[in-house]
Chain A
Amino acid sequence: MEIHFESEKPIYLQIAEQLEEAILSGAFPEETQIPSTTEISITFKINPATALKGINLLVDADIIYKKRGLGMFVKAGAKNRILEQHKQAFYQTYIVTLLSEAKTLKISKAKLLDMIERGYEYESPDSERSRNGI
């Protein structure tokens, strides 16, 4: 996990996203405890209130829950819920940005669709020409 202090993204959002990534990767399995606000604040040298704000975002999203007197735990089914959210965010995060950059570079719609096709062809894991294909 790493926090980018120069990023446009607020730190509490970065904390929430990185915890989600850790849950997706299996580093924090469902029904296990995640690091405390204090641990997160010390590790990243951030204000504990900022760490708490990030954690609360995940509580609201039904990803983690509080066990009284014990700490925060990953909820059962959290992994699937995160995947669903990421799919929903995919359009906004990638497609919108992609189209705006394509516009700047004057790449036509046909050319763009062609590139996506090519991506599917060449970037498949068993393709030898992977990453070289132009």
Chain B
Amino acid sequence: MVKKNLVLVGHGMVGQRFLEEFLAQPGAARDWRVTVLAEEARHAYDRVRLTSWFSGTSAEELALCGDSFVAEHGIDLRLGDPAVAVDRERRTVTTGSGQLIGYDALVLATGSYPFVPPVPGHDAPGCHVYRTLEDVAAIKEGATTARVGAVVGGGLLGLEAAGALRAMGLETHVVEFAPRLMSLQVDDGGGAALRRKIEELGVVVHTGAGTQAISTGADGRVRAMSLSDGTELAVDLVVFSAGVRPRDQLARECGLVVGERGGITVDERCRTSDPHILAIGECAQAADGRVYGLVAPGYAMAEAAARELTGEPGSFTGGDTSTKLKLLGVDVASFGDAHGSTPGALDVVYTDTRAGVYKKLVIGEDGALLGGVLVGDADAYSVLRPLAVSRRPLPAPPEQLLLPASAAGSSAVGGAALPDEALVCSCHNVSKAAIRAAVTDQGCTSVREVKACTKAGTGCGSCVKLLGGIVEEELAATGVELAPGLCEHFAHTRAELYEIVRVKGIASFSRLIDEHGTGEGCDICKPVVASILASLGNGYVLDGEQAALQDTNDHHLANLQRNGSYSVVPRIPGGEITPDGLITIGEIARDFGLYTKITGGQRIDMFGARVDQLPQIWQRLVDAGFESGHAYGKALRTVKSCVGQTWCRYGVQDSVGLAIELELRYRGLRSPHKLKAAVSGCARECAEAQGKDFGVIATAEGWNLYVGGNGGMTPRHADLLAADLDRETLIRTIDRFLMFYIRTADRLERTAPWLERLEGGLEHLREVVLEDSLGICADLDELMERHVGTYQDEWAATLADPERLRRFVSFVNAPGTPDPTVRFVPERDQIRPARPEEGGGHRVPALVAGPELEVRTR
């Protein structure tokens, strides 16, 4: 059989998607020979992520198609050879290089071109557009010598371009003709919130102003720009981003019907006025009369066209123009009927000017959600968009949906509220039903598998959270038992592993995983096993193989901070510290230029230490009598105290004395999660003991012991375990409580949820630790005695051993060189980590310095 000829003009995002869809149709490869004419000299790439090229994403990483795809399907791809004419009668296309190619079917996917207002000077050197990789390369090149940049157009692309200019260190202006930013997507309120946020980032915004002229200097390059409101801006780089126009020139010249405002007219199967020619993507005016400037509708058209050519059913009647973006770090989303143009539509609006949050929901007469605008906090987008698109009634009162997540209620909106037909992933057009089917029919058992199977979540990523919720629900509904084990390497829970290690006397991870697990382990099971080995008294946590199991915090005996530096927290038992101790800490922090802060745990944190500085800092601390505060470990943190009887006129016991005793007793005790405690000197409870894993409150007769309290994310008041205990009984009871918890809790389960889960609850706990109902108290007591008897300060032990110190270098092959990427800037007379845009960018703004930064001190 003679193959038919298909010619695709344009190898952009939609053209590439068309090829993929077409070649996946049954019979396509057998019946058709495919020729692609591409104007750009490279394979199709991800234009949506073009801006990420500035922050280091390479052209190769942006590519959507490689040589193998072309070769595998025998595509005749002609890069850098555009179509210049179409002869519809003869059914031929002429290319730029003069070739004549016959077609049986022609698909036009020529995209758009940036609109440049014809103001004087618009084509002077220094003026740019923003559409291709060549464009961004030219902008970057121009930015190396420019100081001030202006972006004409305050829409989606314009703001992206402004962000890029700003990141390259240019003073940046945005000029928008409309009275607000992103006028297509957001309303006045949203525009105002967006503007405030963007101005805070140092971008100067001019709205309601047109560009009148661009003037050039003696060298012919851009020098200034005058605006219709009389403003004169001294600029040396201009980016036009004032909208796009469909590239329908080729179609016009061969007499195809085009829309009034441009765009090749197509029907719902993407056929143009010539039955042999189809048009898709941004160059086409869809059946609903719109020209879409987004990639998702283009993809839907690509699919419809591929099916049309192979005789399969499929159509595109209109798409969703919802968008969610992060522009200069600000969340912006708009969906459905964002402007409330449906008759009878009503608004519900929430604004918090301080936080830069603006949210609006458009509600129909029947109470259904029609659309909305979210600026500054767009978390609810993934749930609200599908609801709006399917015109479903709201799952909760609208005001609840708008309140910040911290206010109760909004967490109630999950995937469960969505109808089956709701579109969950608009990038890849995946409905909730398709996601459920991936789980029930195709046997996917994780979000990762569902992503691979449906493509959902692999575009902009905004739907991933919602996707996760739906997959989880569906798995639960189909009765899939989520394996109870710790992770893929161990089918046991933490408590079971603890028993195995204890009973068999296992002392190494290798033995445990070889005998009771599979594979190499991971970041979940390794720290758990490390903690079990440590609680069972296998010595110094960084020796031998145990070193490899620790999270980086434990591995470096310090807390990792956002820029790769560490914080240092010496123990200050009970919060009691001498003036000399304070002075020592102050001197050390000053000498190393560290940021200091009083923590919420009654001690002092010093931030900004490089790995290689940790031993020097700790040497000084250890010399002055300080020891590790274990702020990095799943271990005892602090025992807070109030000042108590010694000073306080109400106190009935020495709360500070007891807090210190308890802190010294349990310091270094490794546990499933961190442990916090407190001792208050009377019922006024200034130490907040009822918010702690174990808390002690003084009474006239002795001490009341509370357990299972928690602050943090899910606060819980502690329960009274026993009242009026004497000191000795109190300590013995805490010993047993802690050891019982360590033995039976899950990974990262604090005492509060553990107690909630414990069968028999508080009563059972009482029986175990006070009445020895399980006959394990002697064991528990012995374990605690061993802990107390063998405790050693990890930092002192580390400093004493050159072998152990070797890990504290920035570079193994350049031990003296500090890590140059750890950078700080001054703030309020101290240092803080430089943000990415202040740090390693292309141009380093003023004020940035390495870690040895001098900070003004009074």
Are A and B a genuine interacting pair, yes or no?
no
- On A, residues with C-beta under 8 Å from B are none
